[in-house]
Structure 1
Amino acid sequence: MATQYKTIHLIRHAQGYHNLARTTLTELRRLILFGGWRTIKLGRLLQLLSSIWLSILSRIVPSYRFDASLTPTGWLQVEKCRQMVVASGLASKIGLVVVSPMTRTLQTAAGVFGEREIYDDNGEAKPILMKKGKTNPCTRAKPSTKSPPFVAQELCREHIVRASLSSFSFQSLLMSSRARQAHSAAHRRRDISSYSAEFPGIDFSLVQHDQDVLWRPGVEESLQEMQERAKAFFQWLMSREEKEMAVVSHSYFLHEFLRAISGSSTSDLGW
């Protein structure tokens, strides 16, 4: 019988290219409205200009938006989170890592919970967790025996919204977070066969369809539908034998997941 009391660690993915616009605008407002431009150092100014350029690319180049990968800043966040997980001893307690089948979540999960060792403790080669490549500059190529198993679960993917490849405008950079989300292609996943080649150490057997059949042009998942999906995901977690698990997902889904299982309002959660 599955354990009825479990410890679930919820982790939002690190910064992806689709997040750059909001982060950059926040920094620009601080510099302009509060006089930060007077004391900004050259190095930070160059970083900001680079972020502005990447923000523009993330709006006009489909490859930057479609199933967005992590930014260089995102990879730094992954490493920082990994250090915290290791230092706290959490890495040895996790029995299963559940991850949304999207590039940014897969990269975050592999980077945070993957081990540095190329071989396991017996000197035997293990399946590659995440291949190193252009979008995966991570050096942790293979998990050791200390690494928990990884499984992809589509129930915890981000809110399924209508994707739009409309042309870039500066007005789009000023849109609210929710509005930008609804006009982004970042929430449509690639084929599972593509992920399997890039992340061969992650189990994708629970994802029923190779192609993204949940995403449909012009159709947006309602809030009620997402909350029902969140409840189904909770029931699936409770049916597992593992007592302690980590879930690597997305901010909006995790927000609604907590609301769905607790019955709390948005203000109660403090988000």
Structure 2
Amino acid sequence: MLTKSLDEAQRKVENYFFDIRKQLFEYDEVLNSQRDRVYTERRRALESDNLQSLIVEYAELTMDDILEANIGSDAPVESWDLEKLIAKVQQYCYLLNDLTPDLLRSKCSSYEDLQDYLRLRGREAYLQKRDIVEKEALGLMKEAERFLILSNIDRLWKEHLQAIKFVQQAVGLRGYAQRDPLIEYKLEGYNLFLEMMAQIRRNVIYSIYQFKPVMVKKDQEQSQNDKSANVVRNGRSGKKKPNPVGSTEPSSAASPQASA
């Protein structure tokens, strides 16, 4: 009789802890699937030699987000607030300052036409910005794209982990309202994840559109030349100081050996 009671108690304890482990595993599976997606995106940015297709995708999806937020796919053409839409588009990309309500009305007679046209302009603006930056320094745009993608993924993923932790703690109370905490966690976690991924691409494409490279070397050379000219004009010294950025001037004398 005592043995039977002990076996029953042990079975209940084991079932209790099994249910806890199962629940924790199911919660972890939600986060693991999101982690796989984020790390895939990060690996893509790290290993790819050409991020142009990814940035074009970001540009198109961001234009879709702006259009959906300001017009809506079910809104009739007569109710379109094109001025509001254009203001938001130009807030993201100053290169699209030629957009006007009349231009959009003349080219777009439906929501799908408007979506396709904004996607096209988003791609063109990115390629235009890419050409501008590449003329300043070859290969700079690729490095800037990689940096912007990785930095935004790392920062927003950390914030997402903190937010999802709070959600996991909060959904436990919803069991009192006869709602499954796991289902609630999956739904809210999924919505948070979608918003994080959207924020990553919005931040990246906005930063790329606004990116204006500053050639530090040229600025330093000009600053040093100005300082040298002031020294000569003030009569304090006629001797030219060495340029801190390492530029050289032609000289008839041979350079000294490094080991001398």
Q: TM-score, normalised by structure 2?
A: 0.25
Considering fraction of residues, name the structure with more strand. Answer: 1
TM-score (norm 1): 0.24
Q: Which structure exhibits the higher relative contact order, with contacts defined as CA atoms closer than 8 Å and separated by 6 or more residues?
A: 1
